[in-house]
Amino acid sequence: MVDDWRDDLREWLDPFVATLGDRRRERMCPAYVEGLIGPGDRKSVQPMAMRSPGIGYDQLHHFISAALWDSAPLEKELCRQAGALVGGSDAWLIIDDTALPKKGRASVGVAPQYASVLGKNANCQTLVSVTLASGEVPVMIGLRLFLPQSWTSDKARMDRAKVPEEVRTYRTKPEIALAEIDRVRSAGARFGGVLADAGYGLSGPFRQALTERGLTWAVGIPHKQKVYPVDVALIFPVAGRGRPRVNQVPDVPSRPAQEMLESEKWQTVSWRRGTKGKLSARFAATRVRVADGPPQRIGNLGQQHLPGEEVWLVGEHRSTGERKYYLSNLPADTPLKKLAGAIKARWVCEQAHQQLKEELGLDHFEGRSWQGLHRHALMTMIAFAFLQARRLKAAGRKKKGPSSPAATEPTSYQAGDLEPAQSAAAAQLSSLS
């Protein structure tokens, strides 16, 4: 019974394996994913090969770093499987990034940059992540490497790392995120809206691109993000002398988000129940026009952005004293509790990042190439989706003693991580956060 998960894995992987079209690759794919899930502290190629009977290091390394196979069909299948688990109109697509600390400078994309996991600048790789989530259940479906300008300006360095020609032009993280959103939508992923933190939300072009795609969104912003009152009007200013004014300007100046909310009514809102009771904070919200329209010189204020889209401005005062600010294009009649719930739904991507690293070795890859890193990341996401599928299945069963489904989980996921007696999958998975 202990090895039941391996049998389940191979059956679950059948649609992925079918896309590979080669017997050797069809054998290596399950072996690699099994190595990620199974016991062992290191999930790099060499120790996984040593733990896999009949699988040599050269075989496993060739599969992940050099073999000729296309990742796109596996990525599409991952989107399909994730959609079956958590997709739908009540699901969120969560955009974030995660850092992989590295030594040296040869690994693709490594450079001194901000590492969110460390809370400071560090030598690391940064991956833009895309997570499909419903309630408290995340399934990661996209990881794409961000290349700093120190890389995109160095052709020889990109040549050594075998960076594909089509991604050698510098792209910001929001630009990478938009490409990933388009990819998962074309793969058929269904979700009700997009969530992102302030690293993405501060980008006006990113927010505007989401709206242009007809997507609902809620994003973090800096406290100094400029906004206008919702009833701002454009007027022709009276010219004191000289030519009459030909460009309209706002009748009131823009204000920082923090300042705009100071006079609003703050309410304590609970958005879900955690392991220690209800999770709550104080929230305030008001309708505004974002100052991200075309730039216009306005008198002694200099160059200013004109009013853009009408959205919600939401503030959060946490019990720690920390204050956070958000924008959302949810409908104007959206209750404050629903706004808070949407904003706080983003936390589950952090859970996914943690488990991919701590349990599945996302940050253990020791190769240096673009292809090897992305294939390794894809395999960790496939492994994570399989485990989420098992957890959801286990959550719907009644506990039957020592032979319960939890008892047959891989070594890195012991019975204590799973509580099959719980009636709902979301409640079951919340214990993993």
Mean of the pLDDT values across residues 344-369? 95
Q: Which two structure tokens, joined as six digits, stand for 143?
A: 């990881």
Average pLDDT along the chain: 88
Residue 173 predicted with pLDDT over 90: yes
> Which one is predicted more confidently, 21 or 416?
21
Q: Which two structure tokens, joined as six digits, stand for 55?
A: 């699988």
Quote the pLDDT of residue 337: 95
Quote the pLDDT of residue 244: 60
Q: How far apart are CA 339 and CA 335, in angstroms?
A: 6
Per-residue pLDDT of 299-347, as tens digits, reads 777 778 999 999 999 999 998 999 999 999 999 999 999 999 999 999 9
Cβ neighbours of residue 367 under 8 Å, at least 6 residues apart?
Answer: 45, 61, 64, 65, 107, 373, 376
> Which one is predicted more confidently, 371 or 244?
371
Residue 247 predicted with pLDDT over 80: no
Residue 265 predicted with pLDDT over 60: yes
Quote the pLDDT of residue 271: 86
Residue 430 predicted with pLDDT over 60: no
The residue type found at 367 is G
Crossing angle (nearest 10°) for helices 23-37 and 57-65: 100
Quote the pLDDT of residue 242: 57
DSSP structure string for 211-225 = HHTT--EEEEE-TT-
Give residue 129's pLDDT band: very low, low, confident or very high (50, 70, 90): very high
SS3 content of the chain, % helix, strand, coil (to 5): 40, 25, 35
Quote the pLDDT of residue 119: 80
Beta strands in 184-276 (DSSP E): 193-196, 217-221, 226-229, 234-235, 249-250, 255-256, 267-274
What is the pTM for the complete model shown?
0.89
Share of the chain above pLDDT 90, in %: 74
Residue 404 predicted with pLDDT over 80: no
Mean of the pLDDT values across residues 213-221? 98
Per-residue pLDDT of 108-128, as tens digits, reads 999 999 887 778 899 999 999
Residue 414 predicted with pLDDT over 70: no
Give residue 248's pLDDT band: very low, low, confident or very high (50, 70, 90): confident
Quote the pLDDT of residue 49: 93
Mean of the pLDDT values across residues 384-389? 97
Per-residue pLDDT of 30-81, as tens digits, reads 999 999 999 988 999 999 999 988 899 999 999 999 999 999 999 999 999 9
Highest mean pLDDT, choosing among 57-71, 230-244, 289-303: 57-71
